[in-house]
A = this chain, B = another copy of it.
């Protein structure tokens, strides 16, 4: 836990990056004034959310009342404000978390509005406000790590629609050198997440992409799958910026391979996005918590 001093004049915002392995908690008045942060392991909902409530209760005693909360959550989540399930986790394979109420406890405990969205919708919102997607009208944030997710922003607003984008579950063409692997997605087998997420990489090559020797075909294969996501995004949404984050993208040179392969597959058809089309996050590891902050700011309005 870290703490900074607080300018009492600014409204206090509670920020939660609710991940499948940990919750990152923050108390902030703006993107550059995060007053206190903490991490809580994602175990059982009552335990994890209870620990988060304790953290924020202590912060309220120290800093004053919260004006709003923002929660950027792992999914699937219910984002429909007219639904009785709003603010809850959906049909997740993560034990104990199906139908878990994430947003409700914080609104009730602190009697303030709660902004709630997917982690990746939060991230693209933050990247649009303060990072690599500034000045765009249509932009996406993709994270490639334990899972693959993508959030979309159109005209400054995260896209929800029927539920919310689930970009990791598109169906790429199988790479000719990757025919034997069945994929690990419990829903689709060899969807993008089933083929190109961190666990899928380890499942067939026994190591992360960074650990594979130079010239290993794995990097070419993963770049091909991620480039197919880029082409699908071009075709359906025509983003002006595609921000790629997550652990797998930390592999040196991978983003360049994705760019090069996407250019070959697109064959010049979708307009010229230039070198700035496919980029790394401008906010680095802070995109998650700052996404929650952006959601809190929107909830407060």
Contacts and interface: CB of A to CB of B under 8 A. Distances in A.
A170 B231 contact: yes
A232 B236 contact: yes
A39 to B, nearest CB: 29
Query: Which residue among A162, A173, A239, A270 has the maximum number of chain B CB atoms within 10 Å of its CB?
Result: A162
Nearest to A272: B162
A172 B76 CA distance: 25
A272 to B, nearest CB: 8
A99 interface: no
Contacts of A10: none
A268 B236 CA distance: 21
A166 interface: yes
Copies of this subunit: 2
A277 interface: yes
A150 B232 CA distance: 12
Interface size class of A (residues with CB under 8 A): 35 or more
A234 B171 contact: no
A261 interface: no
A157 B159 contact: no
A187 B268 contact: yes
Interface in A207-243: 228, 231-240
A138 B162 contact: yes
Contacts of A238: 159-166
A111 interface: no
Interface string A246-277: 00000000000000000001011111010001
Interface in A152-200: 152, 154-155, 157, 159-174, 187-188
B267 A188 contact: yes
A285 interface: no
A183 B46 CA distance: 54
A169 B235 contact: yes
B270 A237 contact: no
Nearest to A173: B173
Nearest to A271: B163
Contacts of A235: 150, 165-170, 232
A47 interface: no
Given A138-B160, A188-B265, 15 more contacts: A76-B271, A159-B237, A162-B240, A163-B270, A165-B235, A167-B236, A169-B231, A169-B234, A169-B235, A171-B232, A187-B268, A187-B269, A188-B267, A236-B237, A237-B237
5 contacts: A76-B271, A163-B238, A169-B231, A170-B235, A187-B267
